[in-house]
Amino acid sequence: MVTKQLEQIINPIYQVGGSVRDELIGLTPKDYDYATPLSPDEIETAIRAAGKKPYLIGKRFGTVGVMIEGQMVEITTFRSEQYTPKSRKPNVEFVKDIVQDLSRRDFTVNSMAKRGYKLIDPFKGMDDARDGIIRCVGNPRERYREDPLRMLRAARFASQLNFTIEENTEKKVTEMAYKILEVSKERWVMELDKLLMSNFPNLGLDFLMRTRLLNFMIPELSLQLGYCQNSPYHKMELWEHTVTVVCNVERNINIRWGALLHDVAKPFTRTNKADRSNYIMHELLGADMVERIGRHLKWSNDRIKTVKHLVLTHMEETNPMRQADFIGKRKETDA
């Protein structure tokens, strides 16, 4: 209904991006984006002519908003982006070609458009959506150089959609993982929050570990890969146990962060005995590490306090992660 109303205001107009992908794979889109060859001035004029109020905060970037059925909808002029070396701020040029506009996007499944019943799919995004594949548009190295956050977005989309990341798309992340340091911590956290709240956080978390993105984002966690806990309660390696707990706690963002970090101090507190290892006061050190990690990630004070308490008390019966921790241990001992 929103699209039909917009078609009466803006002509031509194209539905673009994630909403097209979601409709193709049978999901209900959470939001819609639209694009048009009309200039921002022409978009504004058309909205006013329809008796509606244009929202112009993004106009200088080519985006004009309008309220349709109580929700804000953004219409963006087709654009191309040219990046200069060592700069993530593109030179933007408005264009008239929908394919040129789609070519600047990150992944093929996000680079489709629809006008009426006609699908515009120059990069075979429908095939990748059908096959469950995340693949960069064009050269992955160029896409990541333009915006290194796309490496983290690949992990997030895999977790949300239960998709596999195409081999070369992943390989270039492994080669370029260090470039994530060029991105603000706030943008990291926005993507990580969405990943952790997804249906399949294990897919994205394992991707972050395989590609060494975690080495540059939360290096304390990178020590968990291949770490044998040498305990009668744990037959899984530490990272596998951590991911299992994340997947089994309730879908609350602070609790999922607590699950991800609940054993972060184990590699630093190990005490070896004849037949097993102890991790004395790992919960106390872990809480201190959470505070440092939270400051590094620029969390709010409330989130730092909450996650720190969850990690400090994760071995107590009343802790909301405790049952998931037991589930992880049962899976290990039953294996």
Here the CATH number for the domain that contains residue 40 is 3.30.460.10
Note whether 40 and 123 are same-domain residues: yes
Number of structural domains the chain divides into: 3
Note whether 262 and 210 are same-domain residues: no
Note whether 192 and 91 are same-domain residues: no
* Domain final residue, candidates 131, 164, 193: 131
Residues 296 and 185: beta-carbon distance below 8 Å = yes
Q: How far apart are CA 25 and CA 122, in angstroms?
A: 18
Note whether 43 and 95 are same-domain residues: yes
* Domain final residue, candidates 164, 182, 217: 217
Note whether 87 and 181 are same-domain residues: no
Note whether 281 and 260 are same-domain residues: yes
Instruction: Quote the pLDDT of residue 276.
Output: 57
Task: Quote the radius of gyration of the chain (alpha carbons, Å).
Answer: 23
Closest Cα to residue 114, out of 192, 209, 6?
Answer: 6
Domain containing 149 equals 132-217
Note whether 67 and 13 are same-domain residues: yes
* Domain final residue, candidates 190, 217, 244: 217
Q: Which residues of the chain have pLDDT under 50?
A: 335
Note whether 119 and 140 are same-domain residues: no
Q: At what angle do helices 149-161 and 185-196 cross, to 10 degrees?
A: 10
Instruction: Quote the pLDDT of residue 279.
Output: 74
Note whether 136 and 53 are same-domain residues: no
Residues 41 and 63: beta-carbon distance below 8 Å = no
Instruction: Quote the pLDDT of residue 90.
Output: 66
CATH number, residue 166: 1.10.110.30
Instruction: Quote the pLDDT of residue 229.
Output: 72
Note whether 53 and 150 are same-domain residues: no
Q: Which residues of 39-67 are buried (b: 16+ CB within 10 A; e: fewer)?
A: ebeebbebbeeeeeebbeeebeebbbbbe
Instruction: Quote the pLDDT of residue 234.
Output: 64
Q: How far apart are CA 296 and CA 321, in angstroms?
A: 24
Note whether 188 and 257 are same-domain residues: no
Instruction: Quote the pLDDT of residue 335.
Output: 44
| Residue 111 one-letter amino acid | S
Instruction: Quote the pLDDT of residue 327.
Output: 65
Note whether 2 and 102 are same-domain residues: yes
